[in-house]
Each structure stands twice: as structure tokens, then as C-alpha cells.
Amino acid sequence: MKLSLLIPVYNEEKTLDLIFSKVFELEKSPLIDELEVIAVDDCSKDNSLNLLIKYEDEGKIRLFRHKKNQGKGAAVRTAMANATGDYVVFQDADLEYDPQDLLKMLDYAVKNNVDILYGSRFLGKKTSPLGKFHYFVNAGLTTFSNLLTGLKLTDMETCYKMFKGEVLKEIHIEEDRFGLEPEITAKVSKICALKNLTIKEIPISYNPRKSDEGKKIGAKDGLRAVYIILKYGLFE
């Protein structure tokens, strides 16, 4: 089993070494025969690129670079075009998500022959790991997305989305920023209906960071998400 991790990076020098050490730990799992780590530097202005070059020189990652900052969606699009794994999953370069959860996701996906698996930050939890405001924003966007896609997700905005490699190759991301989450979910719903593919969710852990700690998504991205849900869920 070959697992590809797609990691967009923009100004994450403070967390890169720790998150990559956690990612490389996955190679010890008997579930994974080969781990392909694809990092895309989205024209970082800090020391992120130098750290990534070090990992590339050590043969630990495949590195791609954007000469101009384009956004998370654009970085993921570059990584998707170069992924070769049996399963492919998105991984942020901060510490909000725990890569150990990917082993649980991969094990579930393989055992149940799941085509698309979302890691939900809310499923099965009595309290939200997000503050009340951000929880209601995420819940509102997910509910709105579900209305147009027909899916029954609890966390459309999650980073941890895992796909069979051949399924992901049929999805083209057009959004350059954080709009890739509602866009990819809308396109997932259509491909699932067309080809009778399976999409599931399982619980994952989550440790949110604040804007002063480097979180980049903001209110404008939330408004953009509403537009994207309508665009790809209703009109396209």
C-alpha cells in the first residue's frame, strides 16, 4: 500500500520540523509499504523553503515550488497532479491535525473498501474542539453544502480528506485559496452519484490554532465558501 501525503506550505517555519517528524513516523506502520510525501512551497517568505530543500536533499520528500504565492488550493492542485499513491490524503503544515489519525483512516478505508474518507473533527464528540463562533460557522457551511450535495457530512471543511488514487485523478480543483474544501466536496458528491462510489466519515482529533499563531483563513474565506457551495453545488 502506497500512501501519498500532499502538504501545501506557506510561511510555516515554526511548525515544519515537528509536523514532518510526525509524518515520517508513519513509515513505521505495517499498513504502509511506501510513503510518498509531496510538499508544495507556495512562495514562502520565511525559512520554510530552506527547510523543505533539506528534506528534499535527504530524499524524504518530493518538493515543488511556486514562484508566486497562489493559495492553498493552488498548492494542493500542484501536489495532486504529481501524486502516485494507492490512497492520497491532504495534510496541513501546522500542528492542528495529528498524522497518527491517518493510520486509523487508512485502515478503515482499506478494510471497508471506501473510495473517499473524511476525517471529522466533530463526529461523535459532545463538545466542539473549536470555539462557539467557529463551530457554528463550520456547522452552517457544512449544512448548507449538504443541502446542495445530498451528502450527510458533519465536517465538510476538514483538511483530512483521503481518496483512492484513481478517484482523486478525476477531480480537478479550480479554487486557488481555501475554497478548495467546499469545491472538492461538491465535485465528490457528483462523482459518487455518477459512479456509485462510497464516501464515509470517521472521527479524528483536532488542536486548533489562533490567528496570532499563524492561522490564515479568515472571514472573507467564509463568505467565499458560501459562493463556492452555490457555484459548484447548484450551477455546475
- Radius of gyration (C-alpha) of the chain in whole angstroms: 17
Which of 96, 48, 81, 46 lies closest to 204, judged by CA?
A: 96
Determine the pLDDT at residue 213: 46
Q: Name, in order, each residue with C-beta under 8 angstroms of 145's C-beta and a sequence gap of 6 or more.
A: 151, 153, 156, 182, 185, 186, 229, 233
d(CA 199, CA 117): 6
What string of pLDDT tens digits covers the 236 residues of the chain? Answer: 999 999 999 999 999 999 999 999 999 999 999 999 999 999 999 999 999 999 999 999 999 999 999 999 999 999 999 999 999 999 999 999 999 999 999 999 999 999 999 999 999 876 666 666 677 888 899 999 999 999 999 999 999 999 999 999 999 999 988 889 999 999 999 999 999 999 999 999 999 855 554 455 655 777 888 889 998 877 66
Single-letter code of the amino acid located at 164: K
In order of their start, the domains of the chain are 2-235 (3.90.550.10)
Determine the pLDDT at residue 217: 60
Which of 93, 39, 79 lies closest to 61, judged by CA?
A: 39
Q: Which residues of 1-40 are buried (b: 16+ CB within 10 A; e: fewer)?
A: eebbbbbbbbbbbebbeebbebbeebeebeebeebbbbbb
Per-residue pLDDT tens digits for 90-124: 999 999 999 999 999 999 999 999 999 999 999 98
DSSP string covering 114-161: -SEEEEESSTT-SS-SS-HHHHHHHHHHHHHHHHHH----S-TT-S-E
Any alpha helices (H) in the chain, and if so which ranges? 16-25, 48-57, 72-80, 100-111, 132-149, 165-168, 180-195, 219-230
